[in-house]
Structure 1
């Protein structure tokens, strides 16, 4: 069964944005081709970052490997129920200090931009992408032997959507539910309307 969740927007959006969503039903036999994986990582590589510091780092574990099993086992129990069918699990981390030890205060923000670029490329490639915050960061850091300055932020489950995939009832219902967002007006911060106050002497 094909599930379409095109966003209901006040003005038209590019289809890659309007049709992107985060399924949990994945094809457990789909294999991620090298060319598509490279395209995802290239899309992330060319994201903008503060002073071009490029703080994002990736670890890719394909299904059927020991690495995949190890990353899967760090996921929260509810995520393990379906993420085992992903073609690959991608750990995304941010390098929070530079080579000189100076902090990179925008590292997490920039890494989020890289993932956003990756997610749009995945939509273009006809792939499903679900971003997971429910995982044990300390276990992932130990698994990858990450230095303290490289902080795991998210795990991406990448694969091909399967509308017939078996899911627990609650998750299956969420697959069919319409996408929801706050109305645009609720996201706009009010601006001051009077003259700016002079700072106190």
Structure 2
């Protein structure tokens, strides 16, 4: 048995094709994938703000990014803010971070399936997003996802070119999966 190719192929490049566009029908499919993610008690806490390169929403999202992310994210075709709603008519919603994470992972894997690349970012101003989009108090922005088609690594600043070419690495299973007691590596 082997890891599913969609999981194995997923990575987070910073090199986006600045000329490519992602059709609205494809973005709609990505949002559908996110919508169908599991959530605690089917509370569906994930919310998204979508901006296409060249529109005002994209520019407002881009403006909240930290400078390091701005150095490359403007080339993406789409920027999406992922936020979590912390309550509904029944009261506080548990595990909202988990629900948003599952929704974003669905979006990302659907993107890989469609030949797109994505890069998830935590380097943005959460308060700036809340202000720029008039978010209610019970909505917390968590991530910005850049979406598009793979571009040329040589178009990135030199420091990012090296990071882009590094091999993908993950900790070995015995460092992240335990049995019996914490820290006892699972085999």
TM, length-normalised to structure 1: 0.87
| Richer in helix (by share) | 2
Give the superposed CA RMSD: 1.1
Runs of 4+ in 1 over 6 A off after TM superposition: none
Q: Deviations over 1:132-184 (max 9, x none)?
A: 10000001011111111010000000010013451111110111110010001
Residue of structure 2 in register with 1:89 after alignment = 79
Check the 8 A contact 2:12/2:119 in 1, yes or no: yes
Aligned length: 181
**Partner in structure 2 of residue 46 of structure 1:** 36
* C-alpha displacement of 1:29: 1.1
Say if 1:15 and 1:86 are closer, same or farther in 2 by CA, change over 3 A: same
For residue 184 of structure 2, what is the aligned residue in structure 1?
Answer: none
1:151 correspondence with 2:132? no
Cα distance change, pair 12–163 in 1 and its aligned pair in 2 (3 A) = farther
Structure 1 residues without counterparts, runs of 5 or longer? 1-10, 193-201
TM-score (norm 2): 0.93
Match of 1:66 in 2: 56
Separation in 2 of the partners of 1:165 and 1:80? 17
Are 1:176 and 2:172 an aligned pair?
Answer: no
* Distance change (3 Å), C-alpha of 1:165 and 1:64: farther
- Residues 74-104 of structure 1: CA deviation (Å, up to 9, x unaligned): 000000000000101000100011124x111
Does structure 2 retain, via aligned residues, the 8 Å contact 1:63–1:87? yes
How is 1:83-122 mapped onto 2 (pairs within 5 angstroms)? 83-100=73-90, 102-122=91-111
Which runs of no fewer than 5 residues in structure 2 stay unpaired?
182-187
Residue aligning to 1:185:
174
SS at match of 2:135: coil
